[in-house]
Structure 1
Amino acid sequence: MKHPSVPGTQPQEPEPGLVLALERTGAERLADVGGKAANLGELLRAGLPVPAGFCLTTQAYRRATESAGLDAVHASLAGASPEDLPGLATLAAYARDLVLAADVPADVALAVREAYAALGPDVPVAVRSSATAEDLPFASFAGQQDTFLNVVGIEAVLAAVRQCWASLWTDRAVSYRAGHGISPAGVALAVVVQRMVDAAVAGVLFTANPVTGRRHEAVIDASPGLGEAVVSGAVNPDHFVVDSATRRILERLIGSKAVVIRPLPGGGTARVVQSDAGTRPCIDDAGLLALELLGRRAEVHFGAPQDLEWAIDDSGAAWLTQSRPITTLYPLPERQHAPGGTRVYLCFSLAQGLTRPLTPMGLAGFRLIASSVARAAHFEVPNPHDGPAPYAAAGQRLFFDLTPVLRNGVGRALVPRVFDVMEARSAPVLRSFFDDPRFSVTSRSPWRLLRHVVPVAARARVPESLLRALVRPEAALRRAERFGERFRAALAVPAGSTAVQRLDHVERILGRELFPVVPNILPLPALGFALLAAAGKLLGTSAGPGALQQVLRGLPHNVTTEMDLALWELAEAIRADAGAAAVFAGAGSDAEAVPELARRYQARELPAVVQSGLAGFLGHYGHRAVAEIDLGVPRWSEDPAHILGVLANYLRLEDPGQAPDRQFRKAAQDAEAQIQRLAAAAGQRGRLRTALVRAALKRTRMFAGLRELPKYHIVEALAAVRAQLQAIGTELAAAGRITDADDIFFLDLVEAREALAGRPLHTVVEGRREDYARELGRRHIPRVLLSDGTEPEALRSRAAGTGADAGVLGGTPASAGTVTAAARVILDPQGARLEPGEILVAPSTDPGWTPLFLTAGGLVMEMGGPNSHGAVVAREYGIPAVVGVPDATTLIPTGQRITVDGGDGSVVPEAGPAP
């Protein structure tokens, strides 16, 4: 008898491996059964209730599609990105047609027929897609492929299998894979066929709270009928939050549950509208606690919080129908020294304006630097390579344990005030812990802090430096300059050093030479800002709001400003040379032009004005980069493409009045004039007050610009360390211990030493590169994180009258002035294009961003405070700026006209549809 699904062919014996019982699936069979089936198999291994069924493996999919022409689709999709939506949609539709037109091999159909018959005669089943790139720890792919419920009869099952195969090529699935960098050629689809649960109630269960991050809270959504109503968002379900530790129901919100999805006799489903279901919960407390226990057992088995689908049948039996990792949770800190109790971790990466992850070597470098700081302050550090007790890493970002600070009266008084001016959004989060009994003050004495701070200050002769700065400010500046010269000399490595000696040199710089930069330089800018505050006290109400901020415009002695103006000077030299300017024509809009300019520079093929000018700039500032605190990030001297792109943008600025050097000179002149006005205002209360205000503000301008200098020196040292590590990496690659020289940045310092001793580390590097690539895609980084996973900022509601609902985005005033212009959202400045006058909207900024500031009309940042790096530079350039605006890069689309008021800290989008 001919098989009805495959006309003209005779059935063959099923090939082994086409079908597997769910009991035989598991994590080790992921490539054969896909993520959904593998996780169901793991649930069965854990002894958890899962409906009986089988899995049609990826081998069947490949058999059915091997001659369908998908190889051409794979090739066309290689390197595609989600931004190319029209092209992706066309290719996806073509691929679906190919799959649907492909014959189901006879032996595959027979295998499905036999496995389905084993479940019972015409038993209702769910036919569900299970892709190899699905339900993974880093990407859930939830809902990307299709599921068919209450399928009855073998012909309907086979038709559903074909539809599942085709759903691997939906627009959303293709775009999702492109966004996660997953090769289309490596993805295949298995199909799970399971007995239907005749559900009285069903829904979803998260074993950790996906909104707040709390790992001890289970979140359950429930609705009558099949769980599809909850999963698809067709209903407002009942919502419950259960404390897993105390087994208490913390939240109980009864939804309307107006739609119920029910199975139909003979197959298919129907939506039933009900009017009174919202008056009572659809599941009782005993059922909730039973589900929470099932979820906790699943979490223990998988070793990570899970997102589960469940159903309870008419007999009251609970079934789990799916489990996947909760991929949106931010990872917990990897290192928690103090036993017991909840800890508070601050993200140091964000405080440094860095949202991207750090490479393993970058993290290792900071562990050694942090250990040197702790040892200098007389804290015990058993192993410097592990970092001091407060150090932790989470999501490949730097975190520090602030719990001891919160439990100390002096720490509470000082640290939030520092954040008020450096990272304003973190300050209220820290203050929110003041009333939390878990972090009550255990010490009010300042002596514990002083015995750690005083020795460091004495060794760096801080009191002497402050006195010199007050009495002989020019001498203080010269002393800071001499320190920088001695510091650079200490970074040199003797010629002919062996790789082991180079590594010793690296550890010496990180472990001994770096920390003295801070106590030797930072007191001067700190004094400058302190004198600004003192002048404000002397002036009283006569200063007027915002008057003191004008003194900080056009500050001298700021290495970052000097760098940006040096780059502008190079742009002006290029503009004046017709041949050089012609080289940059179109480079600001042509994505291929800038890399070609970089290649020509490396080959010494550019006109002399560009070649020598850029070489001179990189000779002074080539150690800098975007995300420069990471040892694994190339410096501008290694890859000048970013700088060449910035130069191309500078050359597009045609209004001479907007030239940054003119703007800077005018800002400096205005600041000096403001000092005279403020001194005159103080004179109304006596000549001595006039002299004190003038002297204070003069010293403010002399020293405040040095704020950038400590980091500048630190980055110089990190660039020197990177150069030595590259030399070591080259030797290790030549010896076959790693594949490429840059692989060394995916090791730590201990592993680098082991590699020099002969240990091959290819596998370690490969895994680390994969982890790093995944973390690069993470957008949300908590600025404060508790050890139980709670993100405190998620618990705080926005102040009334701010936020997108009110039409106004609120932040912290950073640089006075008002500007209305089109927004340009930039997440990574590498290769970014900012049209002159556009308002830059960024998650945060470090010195590598500031060349973009010269042509920006305004600045909006998601992070930062009035004295964070971006705010300081914006003020110096006279750019209106608002910082600490939550979710600005998400709420403001590129092209939207917005008004930035840097005086009151508001960002107002213009009415009307966004582009």
Structure 2
Amino acid sequence: MSYILKFQDIGLEDLGLAGGKALNLGILTAAGLPVPPGVVVTTEAYDRVAGSLDLAAAASDPARARAMVMSAPIPDDIAKAVRQFGDVPVAVRSSATAEDLPYASFAGQQDTYLNVVGGDAVLDAVHRCWASLWTDRAVAYRTANGIDHRAVSLAVVIQEMVQSEVAGVMFTANPVTGRRREAVIDASPGLGEAVVSGAVNPDHFTVRDGRILERRLGDKRLAVRSLAGGGVEHVTTAQDAACLTDAQVLALAALGNRVEDHYGAPQDTEWAIDAGGELWLTQARPITTLHPVPDGPPGLRAYFCFSLAQGLTRPITPMGLSAFRVLSASISATVFGAPVADPRAGGTAFHEAGGRVFIDLTPVLRSSLGRAIVPRVFDVMEARSATVMRGLFGEPEFSLTQRSKWPAIRRGLRLARRYRIPVLAVQAVANPEKARKRVDQVGASLRARLPLPAGVSPLDHVERLLATQMIPVLPLILPAAAPGFILLGLATKLLGGKAGPGEVQTVLRGLPHNVTTEMDLELWHLAERIRKDPAAARALRDDRSGARPPGLDDFLARYGDRAVAEIDLGLPRWREDPSHVVGVLANYLRLEDASMAPDALFAKGAAEAEAMIAELGRRAGGLRGRFVRFALGRARALAGLRELPKYYLVVALATIRELLWQVGAELAERGSIEKAEDVFFITLPEARDAGDLRATVARRRDEYDREMRRRHIPRVLLSDGTEPEAVATAAPAADGALTGTPASSGVVTGVARVVLDPVGAHLEPGEILVCPSTDPGWTPLFLTAAGLVMEMGGANSHGAVVAREYGIPAVVGVPRATESIETGQRITVDGTSGAVTFAE
């Protein structure tokens, strides 16, 4: 059995034998790229040495696992095969089978030994590389990425040393801004280890389209050099001039483009230039941190992440995305009067990347009417995206091409006429109660169309509901809710400077007729009833297995269609899995202060709102004051209906989910998928074709699990990979404060609780909730929160509205709040100024 493979003999099928690093070096060698020659000691050698050791069981104690590997004897034939490469100085590098892959780079997780000289030294370095599969950092990285310790093996690269004069790293896409085809190069004299390890401040270059865009020189006070007898030394240096010429920088960037073109994806490379000026490529791996770019039309495009705006940092299941495609086609036909040839492919503005929905903003940016309206809508719904969008107005690629507003206005008028929007809006202002009854009828009519008709297949009914029944609900409800916000805006303008900061927002406290608020308060009332039943309360507090609180079924009968991340029909509804609701109820029982009870605070907020209406009317005075009181009163009567369109869509999605379970059961019976729930990892067209989809499901589950671990999602993403918000530089807030959009007035100081997923979250009464974003599934947590800090949103986004209704101070649109704030820190949330400060 051979334990050695030359680079040129490594094929694409050899990952399990050569590991990720060696596989990439083999691919680069075969492509004719300048790779120093070398070999790989295959995983068969590691498995023979360490295969009998129970290392997975020892993973909880990495030091013990490493000691077990180091004490394992190396068979003579393996030792002989390795020692033969000690004639010239070599670099000995670990090459794990879960390393340098498109989804997990494992950069620096295992060990590397440079300038190894002599057969025994090479053998010892190989042995130490094997043991480094069990370093603390490697074990932790595998655990964080969900990789089974037992599934990983290790090969070792032995590669001729490049005695470099200059070396470093190069990313073929900008890792900070995400911009593709923009090379970022760090360089320093000596071996590249100084740059890779972060031991030196290197020279930094940015290159795009054959031009050096940025040149920033480091002090380069340290160099790593090879020693004559083997090993390396760290040498203090003094070099103020650039260590690379412009020609070398451009040659490196050109080499990076060749590497990326060969792989078809951005790469993180290591390189070296020897004394003769020859350029060598010593390593390449995928850049795993870049968010995938939507596949759209040619030219620079701007995409808005709809998923993130809806409170989802997690990916959407493939079937959930497939449903969104059909819904987007329905929007195109219903709202814009532009039917799509293939609804299953989605509307022209719909795109997806990384399991998330993106909307093409390019036509909006190029339209004078789009620029006038959409950023103002974002101002109140997603303020940070509005700022990013306005920042793109000056870019040549997004210059105005549709200056006339009339085509869009005519489309809007046709939509208004078709759905009688102006008439219904006037009627809503004249008689809010009648408008609410009409909206209830819209919901009842939708519910009546949801059950499966006789003689219709579940899949046919799913596509019919998505294509024709759900989206028309939006323009039918809009005329009831929108006038409330329009009147609120008119009253604000009429008041001018007579309303202080946050005072108009007070009018929206304790807002009636909001289905989400009603749901939260009903859950609170259920907790109160359980509190009066000692046995039920004790069972809930003790978290007894299988204990089902009395009254829960009645709550679920009304609100069981809801869920966390409920716009994804691939996720269970509360009716299927009520564990989140049960956890919230248990949390409510921890609130003992009657004055802080949510229903009492809600009633107090409503009283404050009515008092503020009277006060603002008095300040305005006369006829203007009477109109202000009328407008603000109508705003309270109508604005709460804003939640109903989404609520009814979620009700429909719950029915569609039930129908898809039937489809999944049939596909599983045929053998197309393993089990019924796999239907949520295929698409509607695939469900109809019903081929063998088991491999597809497995692959998509892996992709979904990897995307679940992605923490940062861009709110706006350009088609060249640039995240505009990462490019913009904001002035630092005073005294290290975080700033965002004021969403609910008031000031509160308390202990922060960072929550990334509300399911199972524990929030002590009086803590300040810090989260990425919210949807209605989060709002039960609001009832015991003292304040809210949110990374997404604007003044009228979902979380902001609910926070105001409960009267808790809130700041939204705070960049990287969940990373900057730690659970347990005392923070002050100023919902009037939009500042979040850290207490001493």
- Per the alignment, residue 287 of structure 1 pairs with 248
Per the TM alignment, residue 320 of structure 1 is displaced from its structure 2 partner at its CA by 0.7
Partner AA of 2:471 in structure 1 = F
Q: Distance in 1 between matches of 2:186 and 2:348?
A: 40
Per the TM alignment, residue 69 of structure 1 is displaced from its structure 2 partner at its CA by 3.2
- Per the alignment, residue 376 of structure 2 pairs with 417
Where 1:552 maps in the other structure, the secondary structure is coil
Q: Distance in 1 between matches of 2:499 and 2:166?
A: 67
Q: Pick one of 738, 748, 757 that aligns with 1:809.
A: 738
Partner AA of 1:265 in structure 2 = A
Q: Distance in 1 between matches of 2:232 and 2:542?
A: 58
Q: Pick one of 227, 234, 258 that aligns with 2:221.
A: 258
Deviation digits for residues 152-192 of structure 1, max 9, x if unmatched? 00010011011101100000000000000100000111000
**1:93 maps to 2:63:** yes
Per the TM alignment, residue 66 of structure 1 is displaced from its structure 2 partner at its CA by 2.1
- Per the alignment, residue 57 of structure 2 pairs with 72
Residue pair 1:368, 1:511 contacting (<8 A) in 2 also: yes
Deviation digits for residues 781-818 of structure 1, max 9, x if unmatched? 0000101111000011122435xxx3200111000111
Q: Distance in 1 between matches of 2:94 and 2:121?
A: 15
Residue pair 1:814, 1:881 contacting (<8 A) in 2 also: yes
Deviation digits for residues 280-327 of structure 1, max 9, x if unmatched? 111111111221122111111111110000001111111111000011
Residue pair 1:26, 1:39 contacting (<8 A) in 2 also: no
Q: Distance in 2 between matches of 1:320 and 1:539?
A: 67
Of all paired residues, the percent bearing the same amino acid is 60
Residue pair 1:368, 1:387 contacting (<8 A) in 2 also: yes
Q: Distance in 1 between matches of 2:733 and 2:672?
A: 59
Where 2:654 maps in the other structure, the secondary structure is helix
**1:900 maps to 2:838:** no
- Per the alignment, residue 710 of structure 1 pairs with 645
Q: Show structure 1 runs of 4+ deviating over 4 A.
A: none
Partner AA of 1:399 in structure 2 = F
**1:863 maps to 2:815:** no
Partner AA of 2:126 in structure 1 = V
Per the TM alignment, residue 543 of structure 1 is displaced from its structure 2 partner at its CA by 2.5
Q: Distance in 2 between matches of 1:816 and 1:152?
A: 69
Deviation digits for residues 620-657 of structure 1, max 9, x if unmatched? 11000000000101000000000000000001111111
Per the TM alignment, residue 39 of structure 1 is displaced from its structure 2 partner at its CA by 0.3
**1:700 maps to 2:635:** yes
- Per the alignment, residue 716 of structure 2 pairs with 784
Q: Pick one of 324, 332, 335 that aligns with 1:366.
A: 324
Q: Pick one of 212, 215, 236 that aligns with 2:180.
A: 215
Q: Distance in 2 between matches of 1:491 and 1:420?
A: 35
Q: Pick one of 811, 815, 837 that aligns with 2:766.
A: 837
Residue pair 1:26, 1:37 contacting (<8 A) in 2 also: no
Per the TM alignment, residue 458 of structure 1 is displaced from its structure 2 partner at its CA by 1.7
- Comparing 528-537 with 415-424, greater Cα deviation is found at 528-537
- Per the alignment, residue 73 of structure 2 pairs with 103
Deviation digits for residues 575-599 of structure 1, max 9, x if unmatched? 0011111101233xxxxx5xx3xx4
Per the TM alignment, residue 71 of structure 1 is displaced from its structure 2 partner at its CA by 5.0
Residue pair 2:205, 2:212 contacting (<8 A) in 1 also: yes
Q: Distance in 2 between matches of 1:642 and 1:352?
A: 19
Q: Distance in 2 between matches of 1:636 and 1:878?
A: 27
Matches within 5 A, 1:446-845: 446-494=405-453, 501-587=457-543, 593=544, 596=545, 599-601=546-548, 610-611=549-550, 613-683=551-621, 686=622, 688-755=623-690, 759-802=691-734, 806-845=735-774
Where 2:383 maps in the other structure, the secondary structure is coil
Q: Distance in 2 between matches of 1:380 and 1:66?
A: 61
Residue pair 1:259, 1:274 contacting (<8 A) in 2 also: yes
Matches within 5 A, 1:189-268: 189-243=154-208, 245=209, 247-268=210-231
Q: Distance in 1 between matches of 2:478 and 2:135?
A: 56
Matches within 5 A, 1:877-896: 877-896=806-825
Partner AA of 1:230 in structure 2 = V
TM-score, normalization by structure 1? 0.90
Deviation digits for residues 382-434 of structure 1, max 9, x if unmatched? 21111111111111100011111111111101110111100011011000111
Q: Pick one of 307, 312, 317 that aligns with 1:349.
A: 307
**1:41 maps to 2:26:** yes
Residue pair 2:56, 2:149 contacting (<8 A) in 1 also: no
Partner AA of 1:711 in structure 2 = K
Residue pair 1:205, 1:218 contacting (<8 A) in 2 also: yes
- Comparing 103-112 with 179-188, greater Cα deviation is found at 103-112
Partner AA of 1:25 in structure 2 = I
Q: Pick one of 249, 257, 271 that aligns with 2:234.
A: 271
Q: Pick one of 61, 82, 92 that aligns with 1:112.
A: 82
Q: Pick one of 277, 298, 301 that aligns with 2:259.
A: 298
Where 2:235 maps in the other structure, the secondary structure is strand
Per the TM alignment, residue 464 of structure 1 is displaced from its structure 2 partner at its CA by 1.2
Where 2:269 maps in the other structure, the secondary structure is strand
Per the TM alignment, residue 600 of structure 1 is displaced from its structure 2 partner at its CA by 4.2
Matches within 5 A, 1:37-186: 37-70=22-55, 72-73=57-58, 77=59, 88=60, 91-114=61-84, 116=85, 122-186=87-151
Where 2:134 maps in the other structure, the secondary structure is coil
- Comparing 458-467 with 264-273, greater Cα deviation is found at 458-467
Per the TM alignment, residue 136 of structure 1 is displaced from its structure 2 partner at its CA by 0.8
Residue pair 1:46, 1:298 contacting (<8 A) in 2 also: no
Per the TM alignment, residue 380 of structure 1 is displaced from its structure 2 partner at its CA by 4.5
Q: Distance in 1 between matches of 2:157 and 2:304?
A: 44
Residue pair 1:202, 1:225 contacting (<8 A) in 2 also: yes
Q: Distance in 2 between matches of 1:676 and 1:643?
A: 38
**1:387 maps to 2:343:** no
Q: Pick one of 325, 330, 336 that aligns with 2:286.
A: 325
- Per the alignment, residue 407 of structure 1 pairs with 366
Partner AA of 2:381 in structure 1 = M
- Comparing 411-420 with 688-697, greater Cα deviation is found at 688-697
Per the TM alignment, residue 735 of structure 1 is displaced from its structure 2 partner at its CA by 2.1
Q: Distance in 2 between matches of 1:293 and 1:677?
A: 68
Residue pair 1:26, 1:40 contacting (<8 A) in 2 also: no
Where 1:29 maps in the other structure, the secondary structure is helix
Partner AA of 1:644 in structure 2 = V
Per the TM alignment, residue 533 of structure 1 is displaced from its structure 2 partner at its CA by 1.3
Q: Distance in 1 between matches of 2:396 and 2:627?
A: 45
Partner AA of 1:703 in structure 2 = L
TM-score, normalization by structure 2? 0.98
Deviation digits for residues 114-156 of structure 1, max 9, x if unmatched? 3x16xxxx21000100011111101111000000000000010
Deviation digits for residues 457-500 of structure 1, max 9, x if unmatched? 222211111110122222111111111111111111136x56xx
- Per the alignment, residue 910 of structure 1 pairs with 839
Q: Distance in 2 between matches of 1:149 and 1:391?
A: 50
Residue pair 1:642, 1:830 contacting (<8 A) in 2 also: yes
- Per the alignment, residue 277 of structure 2 pairs with 316
Q: Distance in 2 between matches of 1:670 and 1:622?
A: 32
Provide structure 2 residue ranges, at least 5 long, that are not aligned to the other structure. none
Residue pair 1:56, 1:191 contacting (<8 A) in 2 also: yes
- Per the alignment, residue 10 of structure 1 pairs with none
Residue pair 1:69, 1:98 contacting (<8 A) in 2 also: no
Partner AA of 1:471 in structure 2 = A
**Cα RMSD over matched residues?**
1.2
- Comparing 550-559 with 727-736, greater Cα deviation is found at 727-736
Provide structure 1 residue ranges, at least 5 long, that are not aligned to the other structure. 1-14, 78-87, 588-592, 602-609
Q: Distance in 1 between matches of 2:772 and 2:369?
A: 31
